[in-house]
Structure 1
């Protein structure tokens, strides 16, 4: 069984929240500039960011890549319905979807569907290969439905921080 990571153990004050709002938009902004924007010293910003990383508030730093620039022209939203919701079935599906590089996002959901996935592919041929491997040949999948995105209106992982 796959365990969830522990909840972050650090409570956030207004300075932490201000820092998070900034680095979600640009995590390469120099700490000195962040410090100016939040009225702290650069050393204080550095300590706070390190503490948020250590406590699990900040889970990773990454770059957002334009999918078309790397010839990944197909984005699909896929609803997956499992044959059952037993722990082993769900955990096996989570592991499979987590390990698939085509799966950009995966949510275990309620409401008549088991999972919602965001998948990127080069073209329809590679998308079909992905759906066969992840869904059609998977005995734990009862059904799936693909919605092909016509346009990326908004993407990103910024969380609204009050």
Structure 2
């Protein structure tokens, strides 16, 4: 069940400073955030709760080391659909959203329909994933895989001016 979002709020300089801190480490104690932004811990707590309710903060997650959890293959995959009809695109979005191997999924422009980030423990598992998501999917015209050699930078920190 999705939670109803509070109408969008205008972010002020305190909100933006809080967001910069919690994007780096969302487990930073609120008293430390309060000291860094010159607010009380209670004010920081209220602001974070308001930004969560408004959907500014979508969720809190843990970023895992793929090697530590035995996911040795990270693939960036370009997917080309046979057509861009609403029903085709929506079905692909649902399929990719529900696939646990798909870590990120972007519906894009420029001749490619989707760009996916997929993790797998090994190439055998990756091939099984590509068969299930792409080769056996009549909506997919083609796909191209780029295998990552090194994770240079990951994360989802957004520059908050």
Deviation at 1:8, TM superposition (A): 6.2
State the match for 1:131 in structure 2. 130
Q: TM-score, normalised by structure 2?
A: 0.96
Alpha-carbon distance in 2 for matches of 1:151, 1:28? 27
2:10 corresponds to which residue?
A: 11
Matching residue of 2:89: 90
Go from structure 1 to structure 2 and tell me whether the alpha carbon gap of 1:154 and 1:85 turns closer, same or farther (over 3 Å shift).
same
Counterpart residue number, 2:139: 140
Partner of 1:68: helix, strand, or coil? coil
Counterpart in 2 of 1:65?
64
Instruction: Give structure 2 stretches of 5+ with no counterpart.
Output: none
The reply on whether 1:116 has 2:115 as its aligned counterpart is: yes
Contact 1:107–1:117 (8 Å) recurs in 2? yes
Aligned partners of 2:5 and 2:54 also within 8 Å: no
The answer on whether the counterparts of 1:104 and 1:119 sit within 8 Å (CA) in structure 2 is yes
Which secondary structure state, in structure 1, belongs to the residue aligned with residue 151 of structure 2?
A: coil
Structure 2 CA distance, aligned partners of 1:61 and 1:161? 17
Q: Secondary structure at the match of 1:67?
A: coil
Q: Distance in 1 between matches of 2:100 and 2:93?
A: 13
Task: Check the 8 A contact 1:8/1:57 in 2, yes or no.
Answer: no
Q: Normalising to structure 1: TM-score of the pair?
A: 0.95
Structure 1: gaps spanning 5 or more residues:
none
